[in-house]
């Protein structure tokens, strides 16, 4: 194994470790900020880790209606999520070893996880689970085009499908990157991501009323270790999407030298970026109410139209349309 | 079917084309006693004949210009014809072959005829026969009518996206398993037409490598669709023979009784939803790439069209996932909703052998797609008229714009799967997994508590109620006016047929004189 591959592998391991270790923290961080804004104390910062440990030490009970599909799903959801995590940059926008795939694979890996999650949620035969799963899959049909179009605009503008490459090219542009197209597309990505992360105004991750929950509703029949893995996967997904937005928003400082100082510095910068985006999410969650189920379409359509406008601007830029 | 694609001249082509229709017609009315089958057969025969009429017209026009029915001479026809005639021919070809392929709104026969045939025949019809329509479109447009203007490509692209979206939206409200599959065939034809449209646009802009790459996507998706649709139809056949119903509302819980079929159906569903690791993903991914590269062309409208159609393709993928989660969950998951299900048995190994092979192929192509590329490259480059170049390196797969490594992705998923599996075995509680009844607020769980397939897709139906034009829309607004017009016309013609022999003789005489005069002129 030559020196270069070793470097790549080290970066890859740090990347994976960061994602796995940081995701429970970010989840609780958003809760904490929300609590502060609402005048409450909120959970301790390490609550996410305590929760995971608790789930892993509990007994696992499954419904006797279920089959292998139900038990295998947590593992599949976890593995597709972490694989999607390899397709986006965190502290480093250097490619890991070989190019793995781009925007489309990224979105479709989440779909693969979702397919298993929604199918398995119907297994116990509980009406809450199947209702949640039916709503989740309906959301997915709305989210996918809305999140794909702005990403495709980036793909077309920068001539590459690879998210690492897009971030690199963005960072080369300096402060001039904030063009109208860019801003509109990013807002569209952000809105669709809120839905993809199952957050207010689309879904409420903290509700304890079965009829109102969508993502959590699918996990109702999971317990013990399986529940722990499901939670970890959804927190991971949240961190992955936040990292994507953070790195598109602030694409700078993502090319570390292979020294401890440089890597840790960029790690801290990455953490700051993520915290900024998470704080933004917490602010939105505090100020916006959850919308009715069928109004979700209107919000996401607005975001879709925003990205169409972004596309039109990018095509007609400087062509005498007055834009 | 094979003879259709092998035939080298117009006459042979039409004869085999009709033969194909008639033989499949026999299968559609296989169950002759049911009126449903008879209706399906009638619609099928009618629609395909309308299609054939347009084809016959096309062939005759071609023959007029070239003086021969051979396909070789058709190649030269495009230089001889005026542009307006070519445009008309293009529309005729779309109508003629599009009927067979099942593009919206010419698709109405498809969801009737495919379910009526026995399952393995449905597999053949959905997987292969509708592709002869695609073959026809490709052959005529790229071979006989090229060069063509770019609006042809845009037109095909728009038809493709309409077909894909509407096809899958229709499928979302169906509960008959074979109708769901038939509608999803319509969607897949739409996806194939999308990449054909992209290929045509590239071709008209003289971007031959990109055109060939888009064509590879189309051919690859045709092949993949044949595989996974065949798999799904044979699984559906197993389910129907085990439970004697096609209605998924009446099924449920089959995953325990028919584990092998359930597993194969799951693979088929994953492949048809274009999810990673399976063959559908690779070809749909190629389609995405060709649509996105439309942005590189020098036309503002096409620049807009590319990304937008690509994201709508993403939408159809998501709806497809919704449809197949519904179907899979409805058939296999939860509790049996009727007693019919309880005595279902796994099918015999000989029956599942075929579908197992298809399933393995779906998976292998999903992991090792590059093994098939040389074959597809040859076909596509030949159609576009390029030397056999390696598209894989030249245009599509391995340059800066796009790259994908399905094998490595598979290995990573597998590794992380085992990582978390072993981690959960080692860390934490050592208690065995306990099985208990589902908690349903204190009463014993019943099958009525869970969502039925209709209930499952209800939110989807509400969200897309505007798109969700029921089939009667086409009947009422497109076909009925035509049919009524024809009936009116024939009523007006009726006085001509008075039944008096002398008057008929007069007609013949007048016609003869007319012909003679016409020839003289």
pLDDT along chain B (521 residues), means of 10: 69 83 83 78 85 87 79 73 84 88 82 83 84 86 81 91 90 88 92 92 85 86 91 91 87 87 93 91 88 85 90 93 93 84 79 86 84 71 55 43 73 92 88 83 79 86 75 71 84 79 88 87 70
- Indicate the number of domains in chain B: 3
Rounded Cα distance, B62 and B10, in Å: 9
Rounded Cα distance, B320 and B180, in Å: 10
- Domain for residue B373, yes or no? yes
Q: Model confidence over A160-217: pLDDT tens digits?
A: 888 888 888 888 887 777 888 889 999 999 999 998 888 888 887 777 666 677 888 8
B318 shares its domain with B371: yes
- Domain for residue A273, yes or no? yes
Tokens encoding A269: 């910068």
Q: Which residue has the tokens 């109410």?
A: A289
Q: Which residues, other chains included, contact B4 with Cβ-Cβ below 8 Å and sequence gap of 6+?
A: B13, B16, B17, B20, B132, B135
Rounded Cα distance, B404 and B367, in Å: 11
- Domain for residue B254, yes or no? yes
Residue B38: the pLDDT is 81
Burial class (CB in 10 A: 0-12, 13-18, 19+), B421: middle
B140 shares its domain with B201: no
Residues of chain A in contact with residue B405, where contact means CB-CB under 8 angstroms, are 98-101
Model confidence at A323, pLDDT cuts 50, 70, 90, reads: very low
B86 shares its domain with B2: yes
For chain A positions 27-46, those within 8 Å of chain B (CB to CB) are none
B106 shares its domain with B176: no
- Domain for residue B309, yes or no? yes
B95 shares its domain with B122: yes
Domain hosting residue B138, numbered range = 1-146
Main-chain dihedrals φ then ψ at residue B176, nearest 5 degrees: -85, 120
For chain A positions 230-249, those within 8 Å of chain B (CB to CB) are none
B117 shares its domain with B184: no
Domain end position, chosen among B146, B170, B192: B146
Residue A33: the pLDDT is 94
- Please spell the DSSP secondary structure of B74-98, one letter per residue: HHHHHHHS-HHHHHHHHHHHHHHHH
Residues of chain B in contact with residue A165, where contact means CB-CB under 8 angstroms, are 400
- Indicate the number of domains in chain A: 1
Question: Closest Cα partner for B20 from B102, B92, B124?
Answer: B124
Q: Does A100 touch chain B (CB under 8 A)?
A: yes
Residues in chain B: 521
Chain A's closest residue to B427, CA to CA, is: A56
Model confidence at A322, pLDDT cuts 50, 70, 90, reads: very low
- Domain for residue B396, yes or no? no
Chain A's closest residue to B282, CA to CA, is: A105
- Domain for residue B196, yes or no? yes
B288 shares its domain with B357: yes
For chain B positions 304-333, those within 8 Å of chain A (CB to CB) are 304, 306-308, 310-312, 314-315, 317-319, 321-322, 324-326, 328-329, 333
> Is residue B66 classed as helix, strand or coil in its secondary structure?
helix
Q: Model confidence over A237-256: pLDDT tens digits?
A: 999 999 999 999 888 877 77
Rounded Cα distance, B194 and B207, in Å: 17
- Domain for residue B411, yes or no? no
B120 shares its domain with B245: no
Rounded Cα distance, B221 and A170, in Å: 34
Residues of chain B in contact with residue A293, where contact means CB-CB under 8 angstroms, are 459
For chain B positions 425-484, those within 8 Å of chain A (CB to CB) are 427-429, 431, 433-440, 445, 447, 449-451, 455-460, 462-463
Q: Does B413 touch chain A (CB under 8 A)?
A: yes
Chain A's closest residue to B401, CA to CA, is: A160
Q: Name beta bridge partners: B434.
A: A61
Q: What do you get for the CA distance between the two ends of chain B, in Å?
A: 44
Q: A with B: how many residue pairs have Cβ under 8 Å apart?
A: 258
Rounded Cα distance, B275 and A140, in Å: 14
Domain end position, chosen among B146, B163, B179: B146
**CB spacing of A315 vs B304 below 8 angstroms:** yes
Domain hosting residue A297, numbered range = 3-316
Domain end position, chosen among B113, B146, B179: B146
- Domain for residue A39, yes or no? yes
Distance of residue B211 Cα from the nearest chain A Cα, in angstroms: 18
B158 shares its domain with B141: no
Top pLDDT among A84 and B128 is at A84
- DSSP H or E segment with residue A62: strand A61-63
Rounded Cα distance, A209 and B14, in Å: 64
Model confidence at A261, pLDDT cuts 50, 70, 90, reads: confident
- Dihedral angle of Cα A103, A105, A107, A109, to the nearest 10 degrees: -150
B313 shares its domain with B364: yes
B53 shares its domain with B158: no
Residue A116: the pLDDT is 95
B26 shares its domain with B129: yes
> Is residue A106 classed as helix, strand or coil in its secondary structure?
helix
State the CB neighbour count (10 A cutoff) for residue A39: 6
- Domain for residue B358, yes or no? yes
- Please spell the DSSP secondary structure of B427-487, one letter per residue: SS--PPPEEEPPP-TTS---GGGSPPHHHHTHHHHHHTTTT---HHHHIIIIIHHHHHHHH
Q: Which residue has the tokens 């804004």?
A: A37
Distance of residue A221 Cα from the nearest chain B Cα, in angstroms: 8
A143 near B354, Cβ under 8 Å? no
- Domain for residue A321, yes or no? no
**CB spacing of A64 vs B463 below 8 angstroms:** no
Residue B461: the pLDDT is 83
B66 near B80, Cβ under 8 Å? yes
Task: Point out the residue among B321, B434, B460 whose CB comes nearest to the CB of A115.
Answer: B321
- Domain for residue A37, yes or no? yes
Q: Which residue has the tokens 């094998």?
A: B407
Model confidence at A44, pLDDT cuts 50, 70, 90, reads: very high
Task: Point out the residue among B292, B416, B456 whose CB comes nearest to the CB of A155.
Answer: B292
Residue B386: the pLDDT is 53
């Amino acid at each position: 194994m030559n020196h270069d591959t070793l470097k790549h592998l080290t970066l890859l391991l740090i990347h994976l470790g960061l994602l796995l270790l940081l995701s429970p923290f970010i989840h609780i961080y958003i809760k904490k900020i929300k609590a502060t804004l609402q005048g409450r104390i909120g959970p301790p910062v390490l609550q996410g880790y305590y929760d995971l440990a608790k789930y892993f030490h509990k007994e696992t009970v499954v419904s006797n209606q279920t089959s292998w599909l139900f038990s295998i799903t947590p593992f599949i959801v976890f593995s597709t999520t972490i694989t999607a995590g390899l397709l986006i940059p965190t502290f480093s926008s250097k490619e890991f070893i070989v190019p793995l795939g781009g925007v489309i694979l990224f979105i479709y890996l989440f779909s693969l996880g979702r397919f298993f999650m929604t199918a398995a949620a119907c297994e116990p035969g509980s009406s809450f689970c199947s209702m949640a799963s039916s709503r989740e899959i309906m959301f997915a049909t709305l989210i996918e085009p809305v999140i794909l179009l702005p990403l495709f605009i980036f793909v077309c503008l920068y001539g590459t499908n690879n998210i690492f490459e897009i971030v690199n090219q963005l960072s080369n542009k300096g402060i001039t990157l904030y063009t109208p197209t860019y801003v509109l597309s990013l807002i569209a990505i952000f809105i669709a991501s809120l839905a993809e992360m199952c957050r207010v105004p689309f879904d409420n991750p903290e509700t304890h009323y079965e009829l109102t929950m969508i993502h959590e509703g699918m996990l109702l029949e999971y317990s013990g270790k399986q529940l722990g893995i499901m939670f970890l996967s959804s927190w991971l997904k949240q961190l992955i999407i936040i990292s994507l937005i953070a790195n598109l928003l602030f694409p700078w400082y993502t090319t570390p030298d292979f020294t401890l100082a440089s890597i840790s510095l960029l790690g801290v910068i990455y953490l700051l970026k993520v915290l900024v985006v998470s704080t933004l999410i917490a602010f939105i969650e505090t100020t916006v109410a959850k919308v009715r189920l069928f109004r979700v379409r209107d919000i996401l359509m607005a975001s879709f139209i925003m990205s169409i406008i972004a596309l039109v601007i990018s095509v007609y830029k400087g062509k005498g349309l007055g834009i | 079917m094979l003879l259709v694609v092998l035939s080298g001249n117009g006459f042979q082509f039409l004869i085999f084309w009709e033969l194909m229709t008639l033989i499949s017609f026999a299968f559609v009315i296989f169950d002759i006693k049911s009126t449903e089958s008879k209706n399906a057969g009638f619609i099928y025969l009618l629609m395909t004949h309308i299609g054939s009429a347009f084809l016959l017209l096309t062939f005759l026009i071609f023959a007029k210009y070239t003086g021969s029915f051979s396909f070789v001479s058709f190649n030269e026809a495009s230089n001889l014809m005026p542009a307006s005639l070519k445009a008309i021919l293009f529309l005729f070809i779309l109508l003629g072959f599009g009927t067979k392929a099942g593009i919206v709104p010419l698709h109405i026969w498809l969801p009737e005829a495919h379910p009526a045939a026995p399952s393995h025949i449905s597999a053949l019809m959905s997987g292969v026969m509708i592709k002869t329509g695609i073959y026809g479109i490709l052959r005529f447009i790229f071979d006989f009518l090229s060069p063509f203007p770019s609006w042809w490509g845009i037109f095909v692209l728009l038809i493709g996206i309409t077909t894909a979206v509407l096809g899958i939206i229709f499928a979302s409200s169906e509960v008959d398993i074979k109708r769901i599959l038939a509608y999803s065939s319509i969607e897949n034809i739409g996806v194939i037409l999308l990449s054909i449209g992209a290929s045509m646009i590239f071709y008209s802009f003289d971007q031959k490598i990109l055109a060939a790459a888009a064509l590879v996507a189309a051919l690859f998706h045709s092949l993949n669709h044949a595989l996974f649709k065949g798999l799904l139809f044979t699984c559906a056949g197993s389910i129907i023979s085990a439970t004697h119903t096609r209605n998924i509302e009446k099924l449920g819980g089959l995953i325990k009784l028919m584990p092998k079929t359930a597993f194969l159906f799951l693979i088929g569903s994953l492949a048809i939803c274009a999810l990673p690791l399976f063959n559908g993903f690779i070809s749909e991914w190629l389609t995405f790439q060709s649509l996105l590269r439309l942005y590189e062309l020098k036309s503002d409208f096409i620049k807009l069209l590319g990304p937008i159609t690509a994201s709508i393709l993403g939408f159809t993928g998501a709806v497809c996932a919704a449809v197949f989660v519904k179907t899979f969950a409805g058939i296999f998951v939860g509790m049996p909703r009727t007693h019919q299900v309880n005595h279902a048995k796994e099918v015999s190994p000989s029956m599942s052998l075929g579908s197992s092979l298809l399933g393995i192929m779906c998976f292998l192509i999903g992991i090792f797609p590059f093994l098939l590329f040389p074959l597809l490259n040859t076909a596509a480059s030949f159609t576009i008229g390029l030397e056999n170049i390696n598209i894989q390196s030249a245009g599509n797969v391995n340059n800066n714009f796009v790259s994908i490594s399905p094998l490595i992705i598979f290995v990573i998923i597998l590794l992380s799967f085992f990582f978390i599996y072993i981690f959960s075995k080692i860390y934490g509680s050592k208690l065995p997994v306990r099985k208990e009844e589902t908690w349903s607020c204190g009463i014993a769980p019943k099958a009525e508590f869970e969502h039925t397939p209709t209930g499952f897709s209800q939110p989807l139906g509400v969200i897309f109620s505007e798109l969700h034009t029921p089939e009667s829309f086409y009947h009422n607004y497109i076909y009925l006016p035509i049919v009524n017009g024809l009936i009116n016309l024939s009523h007006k013609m009726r006085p001509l047929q008075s039944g008096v022999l002398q008057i008929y003789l007069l007609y013949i005489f007048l016609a003869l004189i007319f012909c003679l005069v016409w020839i003289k002129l």
